[in-house]
Structure 1
Amino acid sequence: MSEHWQAPAADGPVSGRVEVPGSKSVTSRALLLGALSGGPATVSGAPASRDTALMVGALRALGVPVEVDGQRVAIGAHDGFRAGAVDCGLAGTVMRFVPPAATLASGPVVFDGDPRARERPMAVVLDALRALGADVDGSALPFTVRGTGGLPGGEVVVDASASSQFVSGLLLSGARFEKGLVVHHDGKPVPSLPHIEMTVDMLRLAGVAVDEGEPNTWRIAPAPIAARDWTVEPDLSNAAVFLAAAAITGGSVTVAGWPEESTQPGTEILAVLAQAGARIEPGPDGMTVHGPDVLAPIDVDLHDASELTPTVAAVAALADGVSRIRGVGHIRGHETDRIAALVAELTALGGLAQETPDGLEIHPAPLRAHPERPWQAYADHRMATAGALVGLAVPGVVVDGIDATTKTFPDFPAQWAELVN
């Protein structure tokens, strides 16, 4: 796939029906829980994405038999984890979910990843594992977890204000620790709390009792994790980009298979687009968004759904008024500094965007593609799809690094072009 991708401009309202790959968040949790159960287990609807491949590779590195057949992943029965080397790539779920499981391995497990991954915060998880009795070298990628076949576990205090993955990563393996696990969060509010709710719900489906009776505290008693078959729902954050296309162009787009209930933060896109003037219509075939004639400005707190920020920023840049996105200061530590990246790319098109302490402020301005400066994706799938959204209304936008979408949506360019055209 070419690094430089011409984003298709919309000649009129964009309308159609799309099917998006399964949720990478659900998939990562299901794969790890399947491995922790000892198998056999299956995961159906797993996206054929880089993040899925990295998690499968991590499990294989730990000695877990894994077979992939399209969107179905089968985890074979095994009697424990072994020493190995894990490539985290740029997948936060691999670098934060797998180390706690690696404490159960019979030997050292070495972790490394992409250059940007080495800059992402990891100390909270690794310090927590040390406090729980693990032997860990390092505080960021690359690091080594020296597994001893088990972990004492017990109580630990963490500051998860930079990422909910710090809590989820510990909880997923907590039932396998000798004393179980109690995680206390002490710090600013945890972002993306729905992702922790997703973790808790999936643990319960795997037979693990989780006590959330005390604020900012999660208690898990030692227990086996049940082997089961998982079905993955569509990735609603990826779906959000297609629904936003309807809002931007005044069109009508349906995302098939939208769940009636979900812990995915991507569900919040519906309220955001409604604020922008779109009409939301759930139906038996999925979720449909009908775009307005003129986009209204947006003022929204995305603290619990911060992964939507690039999508919402693209909509806001085309709105008729000043928009504000709040509560997302922590995304400076995501795949890239998403706040700085959005300001840089919108400004390069002539937009008026500025950073705030916890987000962005975007003023209306005419946007124009620069013939010699592509929209930079920063190896970030959400930045790449944001460029595609802006390109609907700004002819000539070229995205440099569209292949970043393989992280969660391998066929994005083709599906996008099919919808727009």
Structure 2
Amino acid sequence: MAPNTAEAALWPAPHASGAVDATVHVPGSKSVTNRALVLASLASEPGWLRRPLRSRDTLLMAGALRAMGVEIEETVSSSSSVAGGPDGTGEAWRVLPTGLRGPATVDVGNAGTVMRFLPPVATLADGPVRFDGDPRSYERPLNGVIDALRQLGARIDDDGRGALPMTVHGSGALEGGQVAIDASSSSQFVSALLLSGPRFNQGVEVRHTGSSLPSMPHIRMTVDMLRTVGAQVDTPESGGEPNVWRVTPGALLGRDLVIEPDLSNAQPFLAAALVTGGKVVVPAWPARTTQPGDRLREIFTEMGGSCELTEYGLAFTGSGSVHGIDVDLSEVGELTPGIAAVAALADSPSTLRGVAHLRLHETDRLAALTKEINELGGDVTETADGLHIRPRRLHGGIFHTYDDHRMATAGAIIGLAVEGVQIENVATTAKTLPDFPDLWTGMLGA
């Protein structure tokens, strides 16, 4: 795993001179935006997405759907129903599901949602759809989706790799039915099949056959959003069999959906309050949500903060002390880099468990966190399924990101407390959090 060492891309991570006190308007959720785009594209009538996230991953999703024939119109409105920020204006996307067609070429970048959610959609296109992406995307597991679609009757050319690049030969329909997959490396395999399941002739029954299933909140998010657009879904939580999800075939409704703030992307800002003993307010934090980032309220409180959820949003306050934590992050693995950064600044050791699957994310996040924190003087050890972090006095240096947005924000958190930290390629945050450097410096009053 060789980091990108372009010296020209170094960003001096701002050092906090005192306690942070800020209100941060966090952009919309990537996970919700990309699921909403897929469902709206498969609907039987037009729909709206209000306050969508506009980032590399979501623009890749929109571009891919447009390549397959979906019309997505972008507007900005001052209507209160579309309000996206403190000025009362916001972006809205109108999705017109005009039919799926090929031939088409899809650039997935390094977006897991695009590379996994769209092959099932492509089986419904009238013609071949080729999938390609960044070099790292070739290394990320896709076999769960490819094997499942073949079981359901699809024809896919991948030269036996179980990975990109590949071509899905859409025939305008897919029979669907029962399928068994091992989704232990990514819950996105399950979500991918469920999202398109209502459009399959027989719907779909997905049975997970592997070991523990990571990131369950993301599957619950998928189910919740399917039900919002009129799909009938049976789940283990609703009295069904363990590890089995069933989606009944049927038309999907066009909805007017308001996208929640991305709670996982709120993590570095809440961490700033914790690390500096300050206060950060995140407006529009939902009282009920399926987003994994909502666990931050519990985790960061245990690490030394306190929070209050009001009608306006979430107010998080640091106590001036940061404590270590022993926590199972299997359901919220994407929070691991930020938690590891805070743990490196704590007053006692931490153990982060249940995240072996992070070795297959944008980069091998466990190896990357271990190397980068240790090169700043830390003491991090990889375990079979996570990290053990013993706090030590850290020093400045280059923090490499490996083209991973959550590595970049983790480095910025450390930089608040450690002078001289330089983030290599902070621009990679545009994957899910556009304008992060400006948001970060704005939080600090710079």
The aligned residue for residue 222 of structure 1 is 249
Q: Does 1:260 find its partner at 2:282?
A: no
Q: Does 1:118 find its partner at 2:138?
A: yes
Q: Say whether the 8 Å CA contact 1:8–1:392 is kept in structure 2.
A: yes
Partner amino acid, structure 1, of 2:408: A
Partner amino acid, structure 2, of 1:325: L
The aligned residue for residue 53 of structure 1 is 59
CA–CA distance in structure 2, aligned partners of residues 80 and 50 of structure 1:
23
Deviation, 1:312, is: 0.2
> Residues 172 and 329 (structure 1 numbering): CA distance in 2 closer, same or farther, change over 3 Å?
same
Q: Say whether the 8 Å CA contact 2:69–2:99 is kept in structure 1.
A: no
The aligned residue for residue 419 of structure 2 is 395
Partner amino acid, structure 2, of 1:293: G
Q: Does 1:162 find its partner at 2:189?
A: no
User: For 1:76, which of 70, 84, 96 is the aligned residue?
Assistant: 96
Structure 2 stretches lacking a partner, 5+ long: 1-7, 77-90
CA–CA distance in structure 2, aligned partners of residues 197 and 365 of structure 1:
38
Q: Say whether the 8 Å CA contact 2:207–2:245 is kept in structure 1.
A: yes
Q: Secondary structure at the match of 1:226?
A: coil
Partner amino acid, structure 2, of 1:260: A
The aligned residue for residue 208 of structure 1 is 231
Partner amino acid, structure 1, of 2:59: A
Deviation, 1:82, is: 3.0
Q: Say whether the 8 Å CA contact 2:197–2:204 is kept in structure 1.
A: yes
The aligned residue for residue 269 of structure 2 is 242
Q: Secondary structure at the match of 1:236?
A: coil
The aligned residue for residue 133 of structure 1 is 153
CA–CA distance in structure 2, aligned partners of residues 3 and 207 of structure 1:
46
Deviation, 1:340, is: 0.3
CA–CA distance in structure 2, aligned partners of residues 69 and 314 of structure 1:
38
Deviation, 1:38, is: 4.1
CA–CA distance in structure 2, aligned partners of residues 77 and 378 of structure 1:
36
Deviation, 1:285, is: 2.1
User: For 2:206, which of 150, 161, 183 is the aligned residue?
Assistant: 183
Task: Give the total of aligned pairs.
Answer: 417
CA–CA distance in structure 1, aligned partners of residues 406 and 111 of structure 2:
13
Q: Secondary structure at the match of 1:387?
A: helix
Q: Secondary structure at the match of 2:128?
A: strand
Deviation, 1:283, is: 2.0
CA–CA distance in structure 2, aligned partners of residues 48 and 182 of structure 1:
33
The aligned residue for residue 46 of structure 2 is 40
Partner amino acid, structure 2, of 1:244: A
The alignment yields a C-alpha RMSD, in angstroms, of 1.0
Structure 1 stretches lacking a partner, 5+ long: none
CA–CA distance in structure 2, aligned partners of residues 50 and 68 of structure 1:
16
TM-score, with normalisation over the residues of structure 2? 0.92
Deviation, 1:39, is: 3.6
Question: How do 1:7-406 and structure 2 match up within 5 A?
Answer: 7-69=13-75, 71-138=91-158, 139-212=162-235, 213-370=240-397, 374-406=398-430
Deviation, 1:81, is: 3.2
CA–CA distance in structure 2, aligned partners of residues 113 and 152 of structure 1:
28
CA–CA distance in structure 1, aligned partners of residues 416 and 304 of structure 2:
18
Q: Say whether the 8 Å CA contact 2:157–2:167 is kept in structure 1.
A: yes
Partner amino acid, structure 2, of 1:319: A
CA–CA distance in structure 2, aligned partners of residues 354 and 69 of structure 1:
48
Q: Say whether the 8 Å CA contact 2:266–2:282 is kept in structure 1.
A: yes
> Residues 77 and 121 (structure 1 numbering): CA distance in 2 closer, same or farther, change over 3 Å?
closer
CA–CA distance in structure 2, aligned partners of residues 105 and 340 of structure 1:
39
The 10-residue stretch of structure 1 (73-82 or 342-351) with the greater mean CA deviation from structure 2: 73-82
Deviations 1:209-238 (CA, angstroms, capped at 9, x unpaired): 001111100011111111112110000000
Q: Secondary structure at the match of 1:43?
A: strand
Partner amino acid, structure 2, of 1:268: R
CA–CA distance in structure 2, aligned partners of residues 216 and 81 of structure 1:
33
Q: Say whether the 8 Å CA contact 1:38–1:79 is kept in structure 2.
A: no
Q: Secondary structure at the match of 2:266?
A: helix
Q: Secondary structure at the match of 2:173?
A: coil
Q: Secondary structure at the match of 2:264?
A: helix
Q: Secondary structure at the match of 1:121?
A: coil
Q: Secondary structure at the match of 1:417?
A: helix
Q: Say whether the 8 Å CA contact 1:38–1:80 is kept in structure 2.
A: no
Deviations 1:311-349 (CA, angstroms, capped at 9, x unpaired): 100100000111010000101000000000000000110
Deviation, 1:241, is: 1.3
Deviation, 1:66, is: 1.3
Partner amino acid, structure 1, of 2:92: R
CA–CA distance in structure 1, aligned partners of residues 336 and 28 of structure 2:
20
Deviation, 1:40, is: 1.3
Q: Secondary structure at the match of 1:335?
A: coil
CA–CA distance in structure 1, aligned partners of residues 250 and 191 of structure 2:
17
Deviation, 1:270, is: 1.1
Partner amino acid, structure 2, of 1:355: E
CA–CA distance in structure 2, aligned partners of residues 345 and 232 of structure 1:
34
> Identity percentage over the alignment?
53
The aligned residue for residue 432 of structure 2 is 408
CA–CA distance in structure 2, aligned partners of residues 22 and 69 of structure 1:
16
Deviations 1:351-378 (CA, angstroms, capped at 9, x unpaired): 00010000000001000012xxx11011
Partner amino acid, structure 1, of 2:435: D
Q: Secondary structure at the match of 1:107?
A: strand
TM-score, with normalisation over the residues of structure 1? 0.97
Q: Say whether the 8 Å CA contact 2:274–2:305 is kept in structure 1.
A: yes
Deviation, 1:188, is: 1.1
The 10-residue stretch of structure 1 (382-391 or 284-293) with the greater mean CA deviation from structure 2: 284-293
